[in-house]
């Protein structure tokens, strides 16, 4: 059985500065029809900055939808669909933590919520860090955090880091470094 759904009709029902909401009529694999609500998003980038001492540089910021402060890796949306994800990652790292890096390793992509958005987050690890001045967006307020990789993995496993992209990227870095060191 082929699982692909076919778009029959698409209607944009909201156009925002970051997201656009659509309501589509689709044909299901069995020939029946259904509706799909989904959000189009330009995509994002996140970076796990690893210090020479094995610490991860993070940011603590207030996340309005959850009504709480969240510890996460530096991240942001792509400026456009044409923006090179690595260049966007370098920009976010500099804006949020004032960091430039000598080496970046791609950690692949992450689909944060495939049930209702087409957002793709490109994940990177950064090494050979140099610290300088931050350059945050005018509506961006973050506090830097530095946590040893091993402790951060323990925090993730204990449910203390709820952010999905941070969980995925940090666990990938831990796996990468464990297999590189052996």
pLDDT tens digits, one per residue of 106-149 = 999 999 999 999 999 999 999 999 999 998 888 889 999 999 99
- The answer to whether 83 touches 122, Cβ cutoff 8 Å, is no
- The answer to whether 83 touches 58, Cβ cutoff 8 Å, is no
* Range list of H helices, 10-163: 85-97, 149-157
- The predicted pLDDT at position 182 comes to 44
Give the integer Cα–Cα distance in Å for 88 and 85.
5
- The predicted pLDDT at position 102 comes to 98
**Among residues 138, 145, 150, 160, which one is catalytic?**
138
- The predicted pLDDT at position 138 comes to 86
- Active site (annotated) includes residue 138: yes
- The predicted pLDDT at position 181 comes to 61
- The answer to whether 73 touches 47, Cβ cutoff 8 Å, is yes
- The predicted pLDDT at position 83 comes to 93
pTM of the prediction?
0.93
Q: Which residues of the chain have pLDDT under 70?
A: 181-182
Q: Which two tokens stand for residue 93?
A: 């790292």
- The answer to whether 91 touches 134, Cβ cutoff 8 Å, is no
């Amino acid at each position: 059985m082929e699982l692909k759904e076919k778009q029959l009709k698409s209607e944009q029902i909201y156009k925002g500065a970051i997201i656009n909401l659509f309501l589509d009529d689709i044909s299901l694999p069995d020939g029946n029809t259904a509706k799909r609500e989904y959000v189009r998003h330009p995509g994002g980038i996140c970076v796990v900055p690893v210090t020479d001492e094995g610490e991860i540089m993070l940011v603590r910021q207030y996340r309005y939808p959850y009504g709480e402060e969240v510890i996460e890796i530096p991240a942001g949306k792509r400026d456009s669909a044409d923006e090179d994800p690595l260049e966007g990652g370098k920009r976010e790292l500099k804006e949020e933590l004032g960091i430039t890096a000598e080496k970046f390793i791609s950690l692949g992509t992450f689909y944060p919520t495939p049930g209702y958005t087409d957002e793709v987050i490109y994940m990177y690890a950064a090494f050979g860090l140099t610290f300088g001045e931050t350059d945050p967006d005018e509506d961006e307020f973050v506090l830097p955090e530095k946590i040893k990789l091993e402790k951060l993995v323990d925090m993730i496993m204990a449910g203390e880091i709820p952010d999905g992209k941070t969980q995925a990227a940090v666990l990938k870095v831990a796996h990468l470094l464990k297999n590189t060191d052996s």
